[in-house]
Amino acid sequence: MSTIKPLFAAKFLPAFLTAPNPFTWRIPSLLELFPSIVLAVPKKKTSHSRKAMRAANKGLKDKQNIVNCPGCGTPKLAHHLCSKCYSFLSRTWKNKLRGSMPDLS
């Protein structure tokens, strides 16, 4: 059997192509070059309509837990202190600590 000779003999090629390569080229991947956050970009621009449809679900909701304060009758959230009664109590406590009469205004 005859051996197949290469198309270009070694004598026609430059020496750096025929000599064994002392180093190998290492091409880094994209993940090594850039942090992962840089690669997470949208492919298309988000249209105004699509943004508006997404934002439509973020509207304010009506409060369902509004009750009247048993002390003064002003509306307040259930399981919360009434701001009017609390301000009166805090003024009373502070005046009591200071030793003076409460201001009922």
Return the pLDDT at 49: 95
Whether residue 9 is contained in a domain is answered as no
Q: Whole-model pTM? A: 0.38
Q: Let me know if 82 is exposed, middle or buried by CB neighbors in 10 A (0-12, 13-18, 19+).
A: buried
70 in a domain, yes or no?
yes
pLDDT (0 to 100) of residue 89: 86
Residue 89: inside a domain = yes
As for how many domains the chain has, the answer is 1
The boundaries of the domain holding residue 81 are: 66-98
Any domain includes 60: no
Would residue 44 count as lying in a domain? no
The per-residue pLDDT for 68 is 94
**Residue 85: exposed, middle, or buried by beta-carbon count in 10 A (0-12, 13-18, 19+)?**
middle
CA dihedral 39, 44, 47, 51 (to 10 degrees): -30
pLDDT recorded at residue 7: 54
Q: What is the mean pLDDT of each run of 10 residues along the chain (105 residues)?
A: 54 64 67 67 90 89 91 91 88 84 59
Are 71 and 60 a contacting pair, CB within 8 Å? no
Looking at the domain assignment, is residue 71 inside a domain? yes
